[in-house]
Amino acid sequence: MKLILSVVFAAAVLGNSARADIQNFDHTPVGALPAGWLAGVTGKGNPKWAVVHDYKALSESNVLKQSGEGAFPWCVNTKAIIKNGFVEVKFKPVGGKEDQAGGVVWRFQDPDNYYVARANALEDNVTIYHVIKGVRTEKGRAAIKVLPNKWHHLRVDFHATKFVVTLDGAQMLEWNDDLIKDAGAVGVWTKADSVTLFDDFESGGK
SS3 state at 25: coil
The answer to whether residue 205 is domain-embedded is: no
Is residue 180 assigned to a domain? Answer: yes
- How confident is the model at residue 18, as a pLDDT? 43
Residue 195 domain flag: yes
DSSP 113-177: EEEEEEEETTTTEEEEEEEETTEEEEEEEEE----TTS-EEEEEEEETTEEEEEETTEEEEEEE-
What range defines the domain where residue 111 resides?
2-200
Nearest to 158 by CA among 84, 61, 77: 84
Is 91 part of a structural domain of the chain?
Answer: yes
The three-class DSSP label of residue 106 is strand
CATH number at residue 128: 2.60.120.560
Q: pTM (2 decimals)? A: 0.90
Question: Could you give the maximum distance between any two Cα atoms of the chain, in Å?
Answer: 42
Range list of β-strands (E), 24-124: 37-46, 49-53, 62-66, 69-82, 85-95, 101-110, 113-120
- 206 in a domain, yes or no? no
Q: Residue 19 has what pLDDT?
A: 52
Residue 172 falls within a domain, yes or no? yes
pLDDT per position as a tens digit, 120-169: 999 999 999 999 999 999 999 999 999 999 999 999 999 999 999 999 99
Number of domains in the chain: 1
pLDDT over 90 at 3, yes or no: no
pLDDT tens figures, 181-202: 999 999 999 999 999 999 999 9
